[in-house]
Each structure stands twice: as C-alpha cells, then as structure tokens.
Structure 1
C-alpha cells in the first residue's frame, strides 16, 4: 500500500516548496490504509429516488466529499466525473462503486445541478456534515476524494478529475496493474510564461471575458500538455494539442462567463512535462 501513496506524493506535488511537501507527505502518511467510517444514518440515492446500498464489500469504492465552501458549479464538476466513470465502467464493469457526499450551502442548488446534468450516480446530501465530522477529512478539496478497497480502507487519495496523474494511478490500481515510479527526467523540459495572472478589472457580469496566456518551451525536449483543469465550470480553455518544439510557444485561449455578479479569482491548472508542473495561472477581476 505504501508504494501507492509515495507515488501519488511524487506525481502530485513536484512543484511544492519543501515545507508544503512535508505537510502533504504527513497527510498522505496519516491516511494510508486508514478506514473510512460511515455513519449508520447516511442514505445514498439516485436522483433523490432509488436508495443505493453503499456497504457492498466486493467492490472498490471511490468516494468524494464536497463541502459548502465556494461556488457549487466550481466544486461539483459533474461533466468530468461522468466522463471518468464511463471510462471505468467500460473497462471494469460493476467493479467500482462511486459515492458522492455533499454538505451544501443550498440544497436546492445541488438538486438543480443533478437534474440539469442528468446525474444518475449515488449521492448523499449530508445536511449535518456527519461523514466529515466522523472522519475529519483534509480541508484541501484536492484531498477529499478517496479510492477504497472492499473493507473501506484508503488505497489512494486525490481527485482524479483535477489531476490526470491521479486518474492514471486510480486506473492502474483498479485494473490490478503494477505501480512503478518511472524516471521521467529525460523527458522533461522547461517553460517560461508571459504572465501567471491576468486582471480583468470591473466588467458587466453578463459579458464574456477573454484572456491569453503564452507558454514558451525554453528546454531541449518537446513540451507536451497532458491536461488542463479549471477551478470553475465557467472557464473554458482552448489550445493546440500538438507537442511544442524547443524554442516555440503555445497560446492558451481562456474564456470566462460569470453565472452571477462575483469577485473573480479563478485558477487554471496546466499539467505538462516540466519539473514545475502543475503550472498555476489565474484570472482576477470583479463581475458586476
């Protein structure tokens, strides 16, 4: 089990400073093989109707917890989960049980999102936050998703929708593949970024805002972007998927459309073959 956690630590935190690495290493060590406890009164349903038995012991479980902090659409990422679950089901049908636990600010927002996205997977609306209180989950949203074995013990921790490396790790464990830490130093390159933060200022919340980030490959190997994730579904990013040759640049075209007036402070995370990966970019402003 230890090798899974160590691999996750290496892949997920290569860009952290030493103090943060130690903090996260301690977190992963704490949760390694820890059993997730489920309150007896928890009820999982599909679209509020069909009750699901979450105590089945002959499957893997992937459980994700979403608290009440932040905007609902930013935290849920239903589209990403549906794509991931489709892949898992196509490779290992009936081998993995997905469970979603929400501690929402507004229950109506959760139900509206479930209906709009036609989300037909087991969901628990935990109004008392009882699951979190029993297990004391990490505060960082990136560490509120767990891959469990049939005894509900943690095999890996991390959100596969936010990080493609974690998704890859989960799939390897589920399919019974050997987890080997590869030495990828010879494939790494370096990048320079024109700016890491763009300020939109004050703008009409009903009007779409656009931004451009430019990444230049200043290393000796092709730059490959594995994936880009955003902290909110209100952000779209377009870019050329081809490798970027040394000395060349790639442009990320970012579009933001507010759902309502808000202070804008959103993150765009770029996963690529650099030692500084993931690269964090920000757009900031006031949607009025």
Structure 2
C-alpha cells in the first residue's frame, strides 16, 4: 500500500513539473517593473524642514489673541501629507494645509493662541505626517500678564 502511494505521488509530481507551465515565463515584465518602482517609492519618505519649530510671543496681555506661522519646506523626494494637527490645549488652535505638499514646495502651519493663563506658558502643536518619524512638534511660548 505504501509503495502505491509513493508511486502515485512521484507520478503526480513528475506530471506537474514536466507538463505544467513555466510560472516565471508568465510574469509580465511591465508589471514587474511597476511593482519594483512602487516598492522603491514605498521606502522613500518626505522630509519636513521648518524655518523654526519654536516661537516666543514674548510678553502678551491676558485674553488677547496672538498668531504666528511656522513655515516649512518639503525637502524629500515624495509628496508630504499632514493628516492632523492637534494642540496641547483648547487655547491653541492650529491650521494646516489639507493638500499634499510637493517635493521642493513650501507650506505653513498657522497657530493661534487665545492668551489664556498667567505668567510663563508653553504650548505644543503635534503634526501627524507621512514622514519617516510620523510626527513633528511645534512649540509656542509667551509670558501672559493681566
């Protein structure tokens, strides 16, 4: 019985190898080139380079809104996407570009602070991006006087 199964298995394997098709020969070379290109691009990340990552408003009056912009450039080779911007408190409101930033192009993150608090304050804005690191942090500072 064992001999019969072994002979049947060997015959099946021989038939598959000899009578089967050559899978490598069926690969479309254009598709292979495109797949390699996509794989290579997936290893690339945009790079975000800010002119400054911290802004100090100096001395400001309490409950008076102030605003600044953080200018950046995509120094990478693929488009930069900022998918979210969140602040460390509701007193700080970030505004970010919703469209992709092409390689070599500039953009800006506007940050508005409502002047709440007292004395020295530090607030952060965290950007969620498609950079290799995945997040970027911006900081604002002020000394709030009554």
> Of the two, which has the highest radius of gyration?
2
| 1:205 and 2:92 correspond | no
Query: For residues 84 and 44 of structure 2, what CA distance do their matches in structure 1 show?
Result: 17
- Number of residue equivalences: 105
The corresponding residue for 1:269 is 126
Shift of 1:285: 1.3
The corresponding residue for 1:255 is 112
Query: For residues 162-184 of structure 1, what are the alpha-carbon distances to aligned partners after superposition, in whole Å with 9 as ceiling and x for unaligned?
Result: xxxxxxxxxxxxxxxxxxxxxx9
Query: For residues 68 and 107 of structure 2, what CA distance do their matches in structure 1 show?
Result: 14
Structural RMSD (CA): 1.6
The corresponding residue for 2:82 is 225
The corresponding residue for 1:214 is 71
For structure 1, which runs of at least 5 residues remain unmatched after alignment? 1-183
Query: For residues 76 and 121 of structure 2, what CA distance do their matches in structure 1 show?
Result: 33
Query: For residues 274 and 226 of structure 1, what CA distance do their matches in structure 2 show?
Result: 11
Shift of 1:214: 1.1
Query: For residues 110-169 of structure 1, what are the alpha-carbon distances to aligned partners after superposition, in whole Å with 9 as ceiling and x for unaligned?
Result: xxxxxxxxxxxxxxxxxxxxxxxxxxxxxxxxxxxxxxxxxxxxxxxxxxxxxxxxxxxx
Task: Point out the structure with the larger strand share.
Answer: 2
Shift of 1:185: 4.4
Query: For residues 229-262 of structure 1, what are the alpha-carbon distances to aligned partners after superposition, in whole Å with 9 as ceiling and x for unaligned?
Result: 1101101111220000000011111100033324
Shift of 1:187: 5.2
Where relative contact order (Cα < 8 A, 6+ residues apart) is larger, the structure is 2
Query: For residues 214 and 193 of structure 1, what CA distance do their matches in structure 2 show?
Result: 6
Shift of 1:277: 2.8
Structure 2 counterparts to residues 19-58 of structure 1, below 5 A:
none
The corresponding residue for 1:188 is 45
The corresponding residue for 1:285 is 142
Partner of 2:97, secondary structure, is: coil
Structure 2 counterparts to residues 24-103 of structure 1, below 5 A:
none
Query: For residues 213 and 185 of structure 1, what CA distance do their matches in structure 2 show?
Result: 28
Shift of 1:206: 2.0
